[in-house]
Amino acid sequence: MVNRNGSNNGNGLVHVNGAAKNGNNGAHNDPAIVTEHELLWDGLSPAVTQALGQPIDTALVSQRKGRGGRSFDYLEGHAVIDQANRIFGYGGWGYELVGEVTLRRIETVNPQTGEVKVEQGYSAPVRVTVAGALPRTDVGVHPVTDDNFDGHDTAIKGAVTDGLKRAFRSFGGQFGNSFYGDQQPVAAQGQPQRVPVQANGNGKPAQAQARGGNDAQAAKLRKRLIEIALEQGFDEDGVRTAVVNRTGKSVDDLTAAELGPLVEAAANKLRQMQQEQAQQAA
């Protein structure tokens, strides 16, 4: 079973960013069908990593009672899916079961009465795949609260959802990673501190003095990015379109800090392509 944002095409193919791939080996069915991130660069885009680094919206956080009467923060399944769609895009992620959903029974004995109590629950191994990142796998569990068909059906679905949530937690705070372990309430975590503006010797803010240098550096990085892309077989219009799709900005509007990771990723991809071509020619 393979799901991409809730869809299953039933033929063993999965779709990532609109490109068809075989679910078993990741090979393209059509060499002409490739995605922008596979040609120009690999890895998560700066726009995605920036979104992942932001504090989580407290409106998404739910609470439940747990051990010792404490309240624990958590994200509901639909909130995790909404987060993934918002950050990675509707066609940029997916999930699948990578094993059987298993019914587990646990027996506990009351030491005072000798009474045996049987509890049931399901476990489900789930793999999450995001375009530009390594797959993430975790195991979800959910108890059976009613020993009937509906109770087991609810527990199976709950285990899959829990596995999905646990796999996404490795992407950080936007998916509730901070909720695991000893928690600090989200409302008390606060917002990132603002760095005060410092003035230099002539009374002008240091940022203003540095802006000219940053503009010059951005121009060099912009030129280098286009050069690398041309070596990969892009034209300049293709580069500009790819940058907009990846960052949401025109390449001319990106700062040096934003251009740096793009140039590095594109250079790494070019180096990889050249190595593969050399191996094929050998």
CA distance 218 to 262: 12
Which is more confident, 44 or 223?
223
Range 42-64 average pLDDT: 84
CA distance 164 to 95: 7
- Of 83, 119, 87, 91, which is closest to residue 103 (Cα–Cα)? 119
Average pLDDT, the chain: 76
Q: How confident is the model at residue 86 (pLDDT cuts 50, 70, 90)?
A: very high
- Report the pLDDT value the prediction gives residue 30, as an integer from 0 to 100: 38
CA angle 48/50/51 to nearest 5° reads 65
Q: 61 with 173: CB under 8 angstroms? A: no
Chain centroid to Cα 118, Å, comes to 38
Range 55-62 average pLDDT: 91
Q: 193 with 154: CB under 8 angstroms? A: no
Q: Domains in the chain, ordered, with CATH? A: 2-187 (3.30.390.80), 208-281 (no CATH)
Q: What is the DSSP letter of 133?
A: S
Range 203-223 average pLDDT: 66
Q: How confident is the model at residue 245 (pLDDT cuts 50, 70, 90)?
A: confident
Which is more confident, 237 or 6?
237
Residues of the chain above pLDDT 90, percent:
30
- Report the pLDDT value the prediction gives residue 198, as an integer from 0 to 100: 46
Q: How confident is the model at residue 105 (pLDDT cuts 50, 70, 90)?
A: very high
pLDDT surpasses 60 at 10:
no
Strands 93-97 and 116-130: antiparallel
Residues of the chain above pLDDT 70, percent:
73
- Of 95, 105, 100, 90, which is closest to residue 23 (Cα–Cα)? 95
- Report the pLDDT value the prediction gives residue 25, as an integer from 0 to 100: 41
Range 103-131 average pLDDT: 91
Q: 144 with 152: CB under 8 angstroms? A: yes
Q: 229 with 239: CB under 8 angstroms? A: yes
Q: What is the pTM of this model?
A: 0.53
DSSP 234-276: --HHHHHHHHHHHHSS-GGG--HHHHHHHHHHHHHHHHHHHHH
Q: How confident is the model at residue 182 (pLDDT cuts 50, 70, 90)?
A: low
- Report the pLDDT value the prediction gives residue 231, as an integer from 0 to 100: 85
Q: 235 with 242: CB under 8 angstroms? A: no
Range 222-228 average pLDDT: 88
Q: What share of the chain is helix, strand, coil (3-state, %, to 5)?
A: 45, 20, 35
Q: How confident is the model at residue 112 (pLDDT cuts 50, 70, 90)?
A: confident
Tokens 């009351």 correspond to 110
- Of 261, 258, 241, which is closest to residue 250 (Cα–Cα)? 241
- Report the pLDDT value the prediction gives residue 104, as an integer from 0 to 100: 95
Strands 93-97 and 2-3: antiparallel
Residue 254 makes CB contacts below 8 A (sequence gap 6+) with 218, 222, 243, 247, 262
Which is more confident, 275 or 166?
166
Ramachandran angles phi, psi of 21, nearest 5° = -135, 150
Range 95-106 average pLDDT: 94
- Report the pLDDT value the prediction gives residue 207, as an integer from 0 to 100: 47
Residue 269 makes CB contacts below 8 A (sequence gap 6+) with 39, 40, 41, 42, 232
